[in-house]
C-alpha cells in the first residue's frame, strides 16, 4: 500500500511539472525607447501640484505607477507630461498605457486604484485676491481631487506623441450661493461652519472603493451621503452667510437636478442645523436671443434658521 501511494504521488508530481512546462513564459523585454506623453485635464486645466500615475503594459508585464507632472498649468488643452523619475518606455509588441489622477505612491495594481469621495475637505479661496474687491466674498474650494482616468494603445514605437484625454465619472458641484441664515438669526454671526453633510436617496459615493483602469468598474460599498470638512466664518452682510463651497460626487447631473437633498451643518460650538428639502433651481432663458429658450439649472444658497419655530 505504501509503495502504491508513493507511485501515485510520483505520477502527480510529474504531471504537475509537465503542466508548468506547458505554461507560456512571461518575458519582461528591455525598454528600447521613451514614450512621449501628452494629456488634457478632465477639470479643464492642470493646476500646479498635479501629479499623474502611469502604467505601461507589454505582453502582460507592466511598468508600474510612474509619476508624471504636467509641463504647463492653467491651459485648457493637451500639454506635455514629464516624468518625475522613471520614464514610460516602449518595449515590443502591443502596448496599453493606463493613466489616473491624482497620483498615489501607494498604488501597485492598475486594476485596483483606491478612490473615495465619502469624506472631503475644503480650503478658503478668494476669487478677488489682488484686486480692490479682495476679501469681499471668499469661497471654500474642495481639496478632494476629481478622480480621472485615461487609456490608449500603442502598436509600434515612433516619434509620434501619445495623447491621453482624461475623463471622470464624478461631477464637481459648486454651491455658489453658500450657506445662509436669515438676518434675524444673528446669534450665529462669527461662528464657523466646521462640517457639512449632504445626503439623498441615491448613490453619491463609494466607500473603500477601487477603480479598475482596464474596465472602468468601481468596486466598493455605495453610500448616499458625503461629509465635507470646512472652516468658514458666518459673517453678516445682507444676510448671514458662509462662503460658497464645492463637493465631488458620482451622482450624475441629471439625477442631482431631480433630487431632493438633506443638508446638515455643524458649527464650531457643536450646534447643528438641518435643511430637509434642498433642491436645484431651474428656469428657461433665451441665451442666444434667437427665440429658443434653454433650460438652465442653478444651485441656490442653502438656507437655515437659528430661530426656534413658533409653536
7-21 pLDDT, tens digit each: 444 444 544 554 555
- Who contacts 1 (Cβ-Cβ below 8 Å, separation ≥6)? none
- Per DSSP, the three-state class of 146 is coil
pLDDT at 137: 66
pLDDT at 125: 78
pLDDT at 244: 84
The span from the CA of 33 to the CA of 200, in Å, is 51
Q: What is the pLDDT of residues 27-56, one digit of tens each?
A: 666 676 778 899 999 988 998 999 999 999
Residue predicted with more confidence, 145 or 91: 145
Examine the pLDDT at 91 and tell me if it is beyond 70.
yes
Least confident of 16-20, 35-39, 196-200, 296-300: 16-20
Beta bridge partners of 281: 298
Residue 70, Cβ density class (10 Å: 0-12 exposed, 13-18 middle, ≥19 buried):
buried
pLDDT at 158: 56
pLDDT at 157: 62
Residue predicted with more confidence, 101 or 162: 101
Examine the pLDDT at 130 and tell me if it is beyond 50.
yes
The residue written with cell numbers 469661497 in the block is 139
What mean pLDDT comes out for the span 71-81? 90
Residue predicted with more confidence, 51 or 87: 51
Give me the chain's average pLDDT, please: 85
- Please state the separation of Cα 91 from the chain's center in Å: 31
- Pair type for strands 139-142 and 244-249: parallel
Q: Where does the chain have alpha helices with state H? A: 2-22, 253-257
Beta bridge partners of 285: 294
pLDDT at 59: 72
Q: Which has the closest alpha carbon to 248: 147, 124, 167, 125?
A: 147
- Who contacts 133 (Cβ-Cβ below 8 Å, separation ≥6)? none
- Please state the separation of Cα 3 from the chain's center in Å: 63
pLDDT at 12: 46
The span from the CA of 253 to the CA of 244, in Å, is 19
Q: What is the pLDDT of residues 132-142, one digit of tens each?
A: 777 666 778 88
The span from the CA of 245 to the CA of 241, in Å, is 12
pLDDT at 243: 82
What mean pLDDT comes out for the span 85-93? 80
C-alpha cell at 203: 448613490
In the chain, where are the structural domains located?
33-304
pLDDT at 236: 86
Q: What is the pLDDT of residues 136-194, one digit of tens each?
A: 667 788 888 899 999 998 876 655 678 999 999 999 999 988 899 988 899 999 999 99
Sheet holding 218-223, edge to edge: 113-115, 205-211, 218-223
Whole-angstrom CA distances from 119 to 166, 237, 241, 267 are 23, 30, 23, 17
Amino acid at each position: 500500500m505504501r509503495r502504491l501511494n508513493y507511485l501515485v504521488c510520483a505520477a502527480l508530481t510529474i504531471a504537475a511539472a509537465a503542466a508548468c512546462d506547458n505554461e507560456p513564459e512571461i518575458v519582461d523585454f528591455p525598454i528600447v525607447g521613451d514614450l512621449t506623453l501628452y494629456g488634457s485635464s478632465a477639470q479643464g486645466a492642470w493646476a500646479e501640484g498635479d501629479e499623474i500615475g502611469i502604467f505601461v503594459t507589454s505582453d502582460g508585464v507592466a511598468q508600474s505607477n510612474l509619476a508624471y507632472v504636467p509641463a504647463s498649468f492653467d491651459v485648457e488643452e493637451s500639454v506635455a507630461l514629464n516624468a518625475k523619475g522613471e520614464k514610460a518606455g516602449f518595449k515590443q509588441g502591443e502596448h496599453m498605457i493606463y493613466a489616473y489622477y491624482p497620483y498615489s505612491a501607494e498604488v501597485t495594481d492598475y486594476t485596483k486604484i483606491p478612490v473615495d469621495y465619502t469624506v472631503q475637505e475644503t480650503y478658503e479661496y478668494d476669487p478677488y485676491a489682488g484686486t480692490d474687491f479682495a476679501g469681499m466674498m471668499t469661497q471654500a474650494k474642495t481639496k478632494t481631487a476629481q478622480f480621472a482616468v485615461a487609456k490608449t494603445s500603442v502598436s509600434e514605437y515612433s516619434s509620434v506623441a501619445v495623447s491621453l484625454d482624461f475623463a471622470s465619472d464624478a461631477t464637481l458641484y459648486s454651491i455658489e450661493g453658500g450657506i445662509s441664515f436669515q438676518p434675524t438669526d444673528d446669534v450665529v454671526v462669527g461662528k464657523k461652519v466646521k462640517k457639512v453633510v449632504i445626503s439623498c436617496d441615491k448613490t453619491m459615493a463609494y466607500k473603500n472603493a477601487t477603480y479598475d483602469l482596464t474596465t472602468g468598474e468601481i468596486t466598493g460599498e455605495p453610500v448616499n451621503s458625503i461629509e465635507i470638512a470646512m472652516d468658514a466664518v458666518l459673517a453678516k452682510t445682507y444676510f448671514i452667510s458662509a462662503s460658497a463651497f464645492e463637493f465631488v460626487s458620482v451622482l450624475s447631473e441629471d439625477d442631482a437636478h431631480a433630487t431632493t437633498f438633506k443638508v446638515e451643518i455643524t458649527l464650531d460650538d457643536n450646534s447643528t442645523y438641518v435643511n430637509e428639502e434642498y433642491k436645484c433651481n431651474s428656469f428657461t432663458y433665451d441665451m442666444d436671443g434667437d427665440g429658443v429658450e434653454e433650460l438652465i439649472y442653478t444651485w441656490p444658497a442653502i438656507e437655515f434658521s437659528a430661530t426656534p419655530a413658533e409653536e
